[in-house]
Every structure is written in structure tokens, then in C-alpha cells.
Amino acid sequence: MTGPITARTPQRFDAPLPPRTEVVVIGGGIIGVMTVWELARAGVPCVLLEKGRIAGEQSSRNWGWIRAQGRDIAELPIMLDAQAMWPGLAAEAGDIGLAQTGTLYLAQDDAALARYRDWLDQAAPYQVSSRILSADQVAAQLPGAARRWAGALYTPTDYRAEPWVTVPRFAQAAVAAGATIIEDCAVRTLDLSAGRVAGVVTENGTIACGSVVLAGGAWSSLFLRNHGVTIPQLSVRATVAATVPMGGVNPGGAVDDRLAWRKRADGGFSLAPSGFHELFIGPDAFRAFGGFARQLLADPLGTSYKPFAPKGYPDAWGTPRRWSGDTPSPFEAMRVLDPRPHAGRVARLARDFAATFPGLGGVRIAQAWAGMIDVMPDVVPVVDHVAAIPGLTVCTGMCGHGFGIGPAMGRIAARLAQDRSPGHDLTRFRLSRFSDGSRLVLGPNL
């Protein structure tokens, strides 16, 4: 398999539903999987429940970049921890296509290069390997390019891996360590006693537990709203295409003002439009629009607006906002969120990549897909206890950056679920920043 996991992917994890455990994790993306792997290795009984397939949504649809480059400065120490974890995880889980190939942000002009220098100055205390390349150095790195860039930000120590292989193998390793993982088992609601977590109600029965981690990606906001907790999270559609195997360019990930590319283990390239997303307008979008105003103004041409989400999407007009534990939930109606890619953008990607590297010859697309990325107004996630519901931890809103940082975020979520110190300063990721009057600070727009 060289593309995303879908509802048609055979079920791999079908353990019986236990009557009780210590920690339940909701959501089978990389954050949820790494959370139970960390818990299991610590000897903590834990169960991961996934409504569809492990990595069926954004965790198998992303670019496969594992980058420190360009990270929000508050995320950077967590990301560096994650990068230190990746080689050991790969050694334990098996071949995931992990390679240290570097990341290249190409600057079309001096203004873009200045933004990269500013980020590099802020990141300097963390001793990152990142450096600025001149136009001539970029030309030497990309000798077949028909375009000349003003320079670049380059981080040679960044990795890449194949996401559709990685997350299921991490899940298998978590099971081997003692975790229970169950696919096709949607969590409908929390089971509360005196206002705090006592378990979860699933479509197949109730599990008693004292702690829950919600790592539901694009579905997190909908789940929380049913319990009276509001977060200003939206989801945007992002399109990706995969080429047939073809010649080399650079071994790692690269992006300019038109497109992003990454060499894959199968010899092809993953391609994506640079800075282009689509937002389906729904009830949550209307409610949260004010909070996203600064982000939209900072990149007014980066988002295309669609009037209606397809039936069953988290923010579709017909998606229920309230339900009970004894009735089917929206999570059962949409097992895997599998949006159609933007056909016009896929065709443009092939043309732009061919024009950038004419020596490759014609660029043939083997497969295209899309994913729904959970985004927050300030482009950083929510990683926090939910004060209104003791026993509930939320780790969501990774803003398209979750794959690479996933191992470290999973470790943090596991620690929070045990009421242990997270090991990092999570002030920037607190849930209360949306209600305590704080001024939201946008993450890097690189």
C-alpha cells in the first residue's frame, strides 16, 4: 500500500471490549496510538477505541514529514524530543521508510527569506541544525531545477517516513506491549459520575475507567460539544497526489510558493499544493469565524471556501450536535472521513512539478487523495486536561503537523492521563486560552 487507509482496508484490530481498564483513548491516529503504546510500556492497562480504521484519516493522509524546521517555538522542544524517539520506534516497529533526508523551505523572494531568518533566530537557543542557504547553494542542491530561488531554510536532520505503514505498525507494537486496540468501535459519549469520568459508552457497550484521552482529530470538537465543552476547532480539506516511480530530485521534503514534494520509499513523489486548503462552511465555521479572522487575514488566498460539507462530515449542516449514549452517534454514520481530492489541483501539481524539474520528463499521477486537517485559530494544538470534566484529557488540533510530533505528544498525553508532569511547558497549548481573555498569537506562517 502506498496511499491512505480507508474504510475498505481490512480490519486488523478486533479485540473484545473489556468491562474496565484504567485509561481509554478515543481515536486511532498517531497521537492516540502513541498514547496507548506509552501507557502499555509503563504497565498501565489501556484501551484504544477507533470508530473506523487505525490511521484511516489524517494520520495516513499527511505528507510524511518529520520536521523540526518551521515549528512554533513552543512546539520545538517537543518536536526535538520526537525526533530523538523516531529511530528507536522504527527499530522496534519494523521498516516504516524512516530516513533522515532533510527539509528545504525554498524562498521565492527576499521577504520570504527574511521570515526564515527570523524563525532561525528564535530557534537558535534550541541548537537546531537549520541554516540559511544562498541562491547558489540552493541551485547546487537542486541541479535539475528550471527555477532559481532567492535562497532557502534547510534542516538536514529532519526525517521522513511512510505514514500509511508507520501508524499501523506502531499500533501492532502497542498491542505487543499490552495495549488493547479495537477498530469499528465508536465511543458515543463519556460515562460521567458526579461530573467526572467514570468510563465511556461505546456502540458495543460501556467500559469503566478513571481517565480518558480524546485524540479524535477532526471529530474532537463535535464530541466535546455534546458534553458542553466548546473549542474553536475547524477542519480543512487538503489534497495530496502520488506519482509513479521516477527519477530523483532531492531526497527529502521541499516546498516553495507553488507546491511541496517528498521522495517516497517506493520511488515516486508525494506532491501537494503549497498553502492551499478548502474550508466547508457549517455551523462550527460560523461560530468560530471571528477567532480565525487573524489567521485568514495573514493568508487571505490560502483558503478556498465551500458552502456545504458533504453529508456526515463533522461540520455538515445535518450532522447532529446532541445525542445520547443509547442512540447511534455521528461517529457511526461516518466510519472514515475520506474526502475527494481536488481534481484541478492534482492536475496542476503534475504540471508544476514537471515545469520545475523538466529533466524528469512527464509526471504521471498514480493516486490522489485528500484529508481533513483539524486546525485551531492560532495554528497550535490543544493539549490539556478539561477542567469542566475531571479525568478527561484532550490532545487535538495538530494543524497538519501531528505526524512528526506524534510520538512526543503521545508521551505527553499518556503522562497527563496519569496525572504526571508532562515534561514540557504546555502553557501555549492550554484549553483556557480561548476563554481567559488571552490574545492569541499566530504560529509561524512559513
CATH of the domain at 131: 3.50.50.60
| Cα–Cα dist 92/55, whole Å | 19
CB count in 10 Å sphere of residue 322: 7
Tens-digit pLDDT profile for residues 93-136: 999 999 999 999 999 999 999 999 999 999 999 999 999 999 99
pTM above 0.85? yes
Cell of 394: 484532550
Domain count, the chain: 1
* Mean pLDDT value of segment 189-195: 98
pLDDT of residue 301: 45
* Angle at the Cα of 52 from the Cα atoms of 48 and 56, rounded to 5 degrees: 95
1 found inside a domain: no
* Mean pLDDT value of segment 62-75: 97
208 found inside a domain: yes
DSSP string, 49-87: E-SS-TT-SHHHHS--EE--TT--TTTHHHHHHHHHHHH
Name 137's Cβ contacts closer than 8 Å, sequence gap at least 6: 151, 152
68 found inside a domain: yes
Cα–Cα separations (whole angstroms), residue 335 to 56, 202, 254, 325, 352: 9, 14, 33, 17, 34
245 found inside a domain: yes
Sign of CA dihedral 17, 22, 27, 32: negative
| Cα–Cα dist 226/379, whole Å | 24
Percent over 90 (pLDDT), the chain: 87
Tens-digit pLDDT profile for residues 426-442: 999 999 999 999 898 99
Phi, psi of 239 (to 5 degrees): -100, 140
| Cα–Cα dist 355/215, whole Å | 40
344 found inside a domain: yes
442 found inside a domain: no
Sign of CA dihedral 127, 130, 136, 137: positive
pLDDT of residue 345: 96
7 found inside a domain: no
402 found inside a domain: yes
Tens-digit pLDDT profile for residues 291-318: 665 665 556 445 787 888 889 999 999 9
Domain boundaries, position 186? 23-434
